[in-house]
Structure 1
């Protein structure tokens, strides 16, 4: 699995609106020209959300970041994945996640068991483990990422989590954490943007539970997040600040870092910031 050094994680690159496809295709082509190795589609994408981006590029890897296993039947996923693999061999990665109880409702029970069953059904349908990653935070899901997939795509994590994840995964599997970046030299303004983004995630126990394991406490979750929490999970500042944070994850054992640019327009295409951050691809 060749993801390159740095990728882009974006909700704005996934859309069900046919009118948005030309704009998304143009953005994907520019990301490829800028040297990014992969794009990760946010917003609960399906497999076929990757096709418009693959059609307009020649090397870029497109991943689901992540496909919600409660909403897509594995046999259909495997079928659609097979078609993409035929048309664009080696360029699609199936990112899978068990989502969160508050978002799923009453059917959200035993998510780890659900994931293992889902992987069993994918295997039976011919979906290759070598072309999928799991949105893993805790030790059991990280172990499943090692044993049943090509690796892990952790979201909302610190460099310490990346170090711990590498210990569980071992030296072989892919480790591709998501890293949030706010490009703003005004720290107060950057923190305000970060809190606006983080507030929703701090209502989801999978994330808060993981942050508690990393040494944060309940006080860190109040009012959109403490300064300590924001400074640990975001890169707040300029491109050099982002470069240092990305380097921390590589030093901790990451193979690839998926950057999510945070702005006041979460659904938009942050092309200006992507251009500025393209220097992070140097050394790929």
Structure 2
């Protein structure tokens, strides 16, 4: 199990005021601050959060191995341990541009981390949706990170990784109680993610057909995205923990003229009993 990842965390975007937002999120009571891997052209923002805060775990969600290699990640971990021991958790993902051999690349990275305990097993997570990746997360990592899954899929993933591994669900959230605008907002990031093989395969495992996936049907959006006002969003987060998630990341979709990630986290916090 990964120490420091209590029930809820929050994802923040890399902005000029990242440190201040991280401090505010920590004060709200969230146990972890996550940063999307696509925003980590460099790994410096993770160190910035560690320097600004005193308690929270800091997690990249996730570092792709074709952007930052094992050596660079090991250097990051060593520097983080010097700044804030025990607070960085490395969220790792396979090379996104590699169609063949991605699992083998993750295994080689795990070998490198293990060789000198550069990044201990209990301080690293693997982005995993399918059976092979979930098995690898169970056997070589401290646990798995899933994204765009419903509670039924979470229960299946929990059974696959067992009780000793940490299971993280990154839950997409749209804090909007208008069905049309909420689904429209959700479809923007889903439009890209649904074209990525791992997510499309997971949608198929959840019972969605090709038309659902291609058109991003209302049924699919409603199943994998928590949208609405505070109460239904909090209820969905609770369903994920009840299904077996140890830690749920609030991945807010920010809409034009709407609340930002920190404001959404602030709205949800009282009902989450952090």
**Range into which the TM-score falls when normalised by the shorter chain:** over 0.9
CA distance in 2, matches of 1:137, 1:99: 15
Q: Which runs of 5+ in 1 are unaligned?
A: none
Aligned to 1:75: 71
RMSD, matched Cα: 1.8
Aligned to 1:28: 22
* Range that drifts further, 68-77 or 27-36: 68-77
Equivalent in 110, 115, 140 of residue 119 of structure 1: 110
Preserved contact between residue 6 and residue 280 of structure 1 (Cα < 8 Å):
no
- Deviation, 1:49, is 2.4
Aligned to 2:250: 259
- Deviation, 1:73, is 1.8
Change (3 A) 1:99 1:228: farther
Alignment partner of 1:128 is 2:127: no
Equivalent in 190, 196, 201 of residue 198 of structure 1: 190
Which aligned pairs between 1:88-103 and structure 2 lie closer than 5 A? Answer: 88-100=84-96
Alignment partner of 1:235 is 2:226: yes
- Deviation, 1:281, is 3.5
Preserved contact between residue 5 and residue 281 of structure 1 (Cα < 8 Å):
no
Task: Give CA-to-partner distance per residue, 1:46-85, whole Å, 9 cap, x none.
Answer: 5432111111111011101000011212122112201211
Aligned to 1:109: 100
SS in 2 for 1:89: coil
Q: Which runs of 5+ in 2 are unaligned?
A: none
Which aligned pairs between 1:140-219 and structure 2 lie closer than 5 A? Answer: 140-219=132-211
Q: How many aligned positions are there?
A: 268
CA distance in 1, matches of 2:95, 2:192: 14
SS in 2 for 1:91: coil
Task: Give CA-to-partner distance per residue, 1:5-41, whole Å, 9 cap, x none.
Answer: 111123x1x35xxxx1xx1111000000111110111
TM-score (norm. length: structure 2): 0.92
Change (3 A) 1:37 1:281: farther
TM-score (norm. length: structure 1): 0.89
- Deviation, 1:196, is 1.8
Preserved contact between residue 154 and residue 176 of structure 1 (Cα < 8 Å):
yes
Q: Which runs of 4+ in 1 moved over 4 A?
A: none
Equivalent in 239, 264, 268 of residue 273 of structure 1: 264
